Structure 1
Amino acid sequence: MSRLKAEPAAAVRSMAELMAIAFAMETESAEKYAELAKRMRDNGQARLAEVFERLVREETGHIENVVRWSRKSGGNDPDLRQLRWTPKDVFDDEDAAVVSPELVDAYHSFAMAVRNEERAFAFWS
Protein backbone atom coordinates (compact mmCIF):
# COMPACT_ATOMS: atom_id res chain seq x y z
CA MET A 1 0.00 0.00 0.00
CA SER A 2 1.18 3.53 -0.70
CA ARG A 3 2.43 5.20 2.44
CA LEU A 4 2.25 8.77 3.58
CA LYS A 5 5.49 10.73 3.64
CA ALA A 6 4.42 12.25 6.96
CA GLU A 7 1.75 11.72 9.56
CA PRO A 8 -1.11 14.26 9.74
CA ALA A 9 0.06 17.42 11.53
CA ALA A 10 -2.44 17.20 14.38
CA ALA A 11 -5.46 15.32 15.61
CA VAL A 12 -8.81 16.42 14.25
CA ARG A 13 -10.76 18.34 16.90
CA SER A 14 -14.23 18.55 15.41
CA MET A 15 -16.55 17.22 12.74
CA ALA A 16 -16.36 20.63 11.01
CA GLU A 17 -12.57 20.32 10.83
CA LEU A 18 -12.85 16.74 9.55
CA MET A 19 -15.21 17.86 6.77
CA ALA A 20 -12.91 20.77 5.86
CA ILE A 21 -9.92 18.43 5.59
CA ALA A 22 -11.86 15.95 3.46
CA PHE A 23 -13.17 18.75 1.22
CA ALA A 24 -9.67 20.19 0.77
CA MET A 25 -8.19 16.79 -0.12
CA GLU A 26 -10.92 15.87 -2.61
CA THR A 27 -10.82 19.33 -4.19
CA GLU A 28 -7.05 19.12 -4.64
CA SER A 29 -7.39 15.73 -6.33
CA ALA A 30 -10.09 16.97 -8.71
CA GLU A 31 -8.02 20.04 -9.59
CA LYS A 32 -4.85 18.02 -10.23
CA TYR A 33 -6.67 15.53 -12.45
CA ALA A 34 -8.29 18.43 -14.34
CA GLU A 35 -4.86 19.96 -14.93
CA LEU A 36 -3.59 16.63 -16.25
CA ALA A 37 -6.65 16.27 -18.49
CA LYS A 38 -6.06 19.72 -19.96
CA ARG A 39 -2.38 19.02 -20.49
CA MET A 40 -3.13 15.77 -22.30
CA ARG A 41 -5.84 17.37 -24.45
CA ASP A 42 -3.56 20.31 -25.30
CA ASN A 43 -0.89 17.82 -26.39
CA GLY A 44 -3.14 15.79 -28.67
CA GLN A 45 -3.75 12.95 -26.23
CA ALA A 46 -7.57 13.07 -26.32
CA ARG A 47 -8.13 9.49 -25.14
CA LEU A 48 -5.84 9.99 -22.18
CA ALA A 49 -7.53 13.32 -21.43
CA GLU A 50 -10.77 11.34 -21.17
CA VAL A 51 -9.17 9.08 -18.57
CA PHE A 52 -8.25 12.07 -16.41
CA GLU A 53 -11.67 13.65 -16.98
CA ARG A 54 -13.21 10.43 -15.68
CA LEU A 55 -11.04 10.74 -12.59
CA VAL A 56 -12.22 14.36 -12.19
CA ARG A 57 -15.82 13.12 -12.22
CA GLU A 58 -14.96 10.51 -9.60
CA GLU A 59 -13.35 13.09 -7.33
CA THR A 60 -16.24 15.50 -7.91
CA GLY A 61 -18.56 12.76 -6.65
CA HIS A 62 -16.39 12.49 -3.54
CA ILE A 63 -16.66 16.26 -3.04
CA GLU A 64 -20.45 16.05 -3.33
CA ASN A 65 -20.48 13.28 -0.72
CA VAL A 66 -18.37 15.35 1.67
CA VAL A 67 -20.70 18.34 1.24
CA ARG A 68 -23.74 16.14 1.86
CA TRP A 69 -22.16 14.58 4.97
CA SER A 70 -21.13 18.01 6.25
CA ARG A 71 -24.66 19.34 5.85
CA LYS A 72 -26.10 16.25 7.52
CA SER A 73 -23.68 16.28 10.46
CA GLY A 74 -23.39 20.01 11.10
CA GLY A 75 -25.95 21.76 8.97
CA ASN A 76 -23.31 23.57 6.88
CA ASP A 77 -21.10 23.16 3.85
CA PRO A 78 -17.45 22.39 4.61
CA ASP A 79 -15.67 25.54 5.79
CA LEU A 80 -11.98 25.77 4.91
CA ARG A 81 -11.55 28.33 7.70
CA GLN A 82 -11.82 25.30 10.02
CA LEU A 83 -8.45 24.03 8.77
CA ARG A 84 -5.69 24.40 11.34
CA TRP A 85 -3.27 22.65 8.96
CA THR A 86 -3.36 21.47 5.37
CA PRO A 87 -2.87 17.80 4.45
CA LYS A 88 0.44 17.41 2.62
CA ASP A 89 1.73 14.84 0.16
CA VAL A 90 -1.49 12.86 -0.05
CA PHE A 91 -1.97 13.46 -3.80
CA ASP A 92 0.97 12.55 -6.05
CA ASP A 93 0.79 12.89 -9.84
CA GLU A 94 3.88 10.68 -10.09
CA ASP A 95 5.45 13.20 -12.51
CA ALA A 96 2.62 12.90 -15.05
CA ALA A 97 2.50 16.70 -15.14
CA VAL A 98 6.11 16.99 -16.27
CA VAL A 99 6.97 13.94 -18.37
CA SER A 100 6.26 13.85 -22.06
CA PRO A 101 2.54 13.16 -22.63
CA GLU A 102 3.52 10.30 -24.94
CA LEU A 103 5.01 8.49 -21.93
CA VAL A 104 1.73 8.57 -19.98
CA ASP A 105 -0.85 5.86 -20.64
CA ALA A 106 -4.26 4.88 -19.31
CA TYR A 107 -2.99 1.91 -17.30
CA HIS A 108 -0.42 3.99 -15.41
CA SER A 109 -2.92 6.81 -14.95
CA PHE A 110 -5.45 4.52 -13.28
CA ALA A 111 -2.65 2.90 -11.26
CA MET A 112 -1.64 6.37 -10.06
CA ALA A 113 -5.26 7.04 -9.07
CA VAL A 114 -5.35 3.78 -7.09
CA ARG A 115 -2.15 4.70 -5.25
CA ASN A 116 -3.61 8.14 -4.47
CA GLU A 117 -6.72 6.49 -3.04
CA GLU A 118 -4.47 4.19 -0.99
CA ARG A 119 -2.60 7.22 0.36
CA ALA A 120 -5.91 8.87 1.25
CA PHE A 121 -6.94 5.66 3.03
CA ALA A 122 -3.65 5.66 4.93
CA PHE A 123 -4.19 9.32 5.83
CA TRP A 124 -7.65 8.63 7.24
CA SER A 125 -6.44 5.51 9.01
Structure 2
Amino acid sequence: QIARALGLATSTVASIRVNKDKIRANSQAATPVSATQLTRCRGVVMGHMERLLSLWIGEQKRQNLPISTLLIQDKARRLFVQLQHEQGNGTRAETFGASNGWFARFKARHNVLLTDEPSVADTQAAAHYP
Protein backbone atom coordinates (compact mmCIF):
# COMPACT_ATOMS: atom_id res chain seq x y z
CA GLN A 1 0.00 0.00 0.00
CA ILE A 2 2.85 2.39 0.82
CA ALA A 3 4.53 1.73 -2.53
CA ARG A 4 1.29 2.35 -4.43
CA ALA A 5 0.51 5.55 -2.49
CA LEU A 6 3.98 6.97 -3.19
CA GLY A 7 4.20 5.68 -6.75
CA LEU A 8 7.27 3.55 -5.97
CA ALA A 9 8.19 -0.04 -6.71
CA THR A 10 7.61 -2.47 -3.85
CA SER A 11 11.27 -3.51 -4.00
CA THR A 12 12.30 0.11 -3.37
CA VAL A 13 10.11 0.35 -0.27
CA ALA A 14 11.42 -3.02 0.96
CA SER A 15 15.04 -1.88 0.49
CA ILE A 16 14.37 1.31 2.42
CA ARG A 17 12.82 -0.66 5.30
CA VAL A 18 15.77 -3.05 5.45
CA ASN A 19 18.33 -0.22 5.38
CA LYS A 20 16.41 2.27 7.54
CA ASP A 21 19.07 2.39 10.29
CA LYS A 22 21.87 3.07 7.79
CA ILE A 23 19.78 5.72 6.04
CA ARG A 24 18.99 7.48 9.32
CA ALA A 25 22.64 7.42 10.42
CA ASN A 26 23.83 8.83 7.08
CA SER A 27 21.18 11.55 6.99
CA GLN A 28 21.95 12.66 10.56
CA ALA A 29 25.67 12.79 9.78
CA ALA A 30 25.08 14.79 6.60
CA THR A 31 22.59 17.25 8.10
CA PRO A 32 23.98 20.09 10.22
CA VAL A 33 22.50 20.47 13.69
CA SER A 34 21.42 24.02 12.90
CA ALA A 35 19.24 22.94 9.97
CA THR A 36 15.70 23.83 10.92
CA GLN A 37 14.04 24.31 7.55
CA LEU A 38 11.81 21.46 6.47
CA THR A 39 10.80 20.80 2.91
CA ARG A 40 7.70 18.95 1.92
CA CYS A 41 7.69 16.46 -0.90
CA ARG A 42 4.71 16.88 -3.18
CA GLY A 43 2.67 13.80 -3.93
CA VAL A 44 2.53 11.80 -7.13
CA VAL A 45 -0.95 13.10 -7.95
CA MET A 46 0.17 16.72 -7.50
CA GLY A 47 3.17 16.30 -9.80
CA HIS A 48 1.10 14.57 -12.48
CA MET A 49 -1.63 17.22 -12.21
CA GLU A 50 0.89 20.05 -12.64
CA ARG A 51 2.40 18.42 -15.74
CA LEU A 52 -1.06 17.99 -17.29
CA LEU A 53 -2.03 21.54 -16.35
CA SER A 54 1.13 22.92 -17.94
CA LEU A 55 0.33 21.03 -21.16
CA TRP A 56 -3.26 22.32 -21.07
CA ILE A 57 -2.08 25.92 -20.65
CA GLY A 58 0.29 25.50 -23.59
CA GLU A 59 -2.53 24.14 -25.74
CA GLN A 60 -4.81 27.06 -24.78
CA LYS A 61 -2.07 29.52 -25.75
CA ARG A 62 -1.43 27.75 -29.09
CA GLN A 63 -5.13 28.07 -29.91
CA ASN A 64 -5.10 31.74 -28.83
CA LEU A 65 -7.84 31.09 -26.28
CA PRO A 66 -8.08 33.50 -23.35
CA ILE A 67 -6.98 32.07 -20.00
CA SER A 68 -7.08 33.66 -16.58
CA THR A 69 -5.78 32.85 -13.15
CA LEU A 70 -9.23 31.75 -12.00
CA LEU A 71 -9.70 29.52 -15.04
CA ILE A 72 -6.33 27.86 -14.47
CA GLN A 73 -7.02 27.35 -10.76
CA ASP A 74 -10.41 25.80 -11.55
CA LYS A 75 -8.85 23.47 -14.14
CA ALA A 76 -6.15 22.50 -11.61
CA ARG A 77 -8.78 21.58 -8.99
CA ARG A 78 -10.75 19.50 -11.50
CA LEU A 79 -7.61 17.71 -12.75
CA PHE A 80 -6.53 16.97 -9.18
CA VAL A 81 -9.90 15.43 -8.26
CA GLN A 82 -9.95 13.40 -11.47
CA LEU A 83 -6.42 12.05 -10.96
CA GLN A 84 -7.10 11.33 -7.30
CA HIS A 85 -10.20 9.35 -8.29
CA GLU A 86 -8.19 7.40 -10.89
CA GLN A 87 -5.44 6.58 -8.35
CA GLY A 88 -7.86 5.02 -5.89
CA ASN A 89 -8.04 5.18 -2.10
CA GLY A 90 -4.29 5.44 -1.47
CA THR A 91 -4.21 9.17 -2.19
CA ARG A 92 -7.43 10.30 -0.47
CA ALA A 93 -5.53 12.01 2.37
CA GLU A 94 -3.97 14.52 -0.03
CA THR A 95 -5.95 17.75 -0.43
CA PHE A 96 -5.56 20.61 -2.87
CA GLY A 97 -7.15 24.04 -2.91
CA ALA A 98 -5.37 25.79 -5.83
CA SER A 99 -4.52 28.82 -3.68
CA ASN A 100 -2.94 32.00 -5.01
CA GLY A 101 0.33 30.99 -3.33
CA TRP A 102 0.30 27.62 -5.08
CA PHE A 103 -0.42 29.35 -8.39
CA ALA A 104 2.49 31.77 -7.95
CA ARG A 105 4.87 28.86 -7.27
CA PHE A 106 3.38 26.84 -10.15
CA LYS A 107 4.01 29.75 -12.55
CA ALA A 108 7.63 29.94 -11.38
CA ARG A 109 8.17 26.17 -11.66
CA HIS A 110 6.67 25.91 -15.16
CA ASN A 111 7.59 29.35 -16.59
CA VAL A 112 3.96 30.30 -17.14
CA LEU A 113 3.46 33.86 -18.33
CA LEU A 114 -0.02 35.36 -18.37
CA THR A 115 -0.70 38.60 -20.18
CA ASP A 116 -3.67 40.72 -19.21
CA GLU A 117 -5.93 41.32 -22.17
CA PRO A 118 -9.22 43.18 -22.22
CA SER A 119 -12.09 40.72 -22.21
CA VAL A 120 -14.38 42.86 -24.40
CA ALA A 121 -13.35 45.35 -27.05
CA ASP A 122 -15.56 48.34 -27.79
CA THR A 123 -15.46 48.17 -31.59
CA GLN A 124 -18.02 50.95 -32.10
CA ALA A 125 -16.02 53.43 -30.04
CA ALA A 126 -12.85 52.38 -31.84
CA ALA A 127 -14.51 52.97 -35.23
CA HIS A 128 -15.50 56.54 -34.29
CA TYR A 129 -12.14 57.40 -32.76
CA PRO A 130 -10.12 59.71 -35.05
Fold equivalence (TM over 0.5):
no
TM-score (norm 2): 0.31
Larger Rg: 2
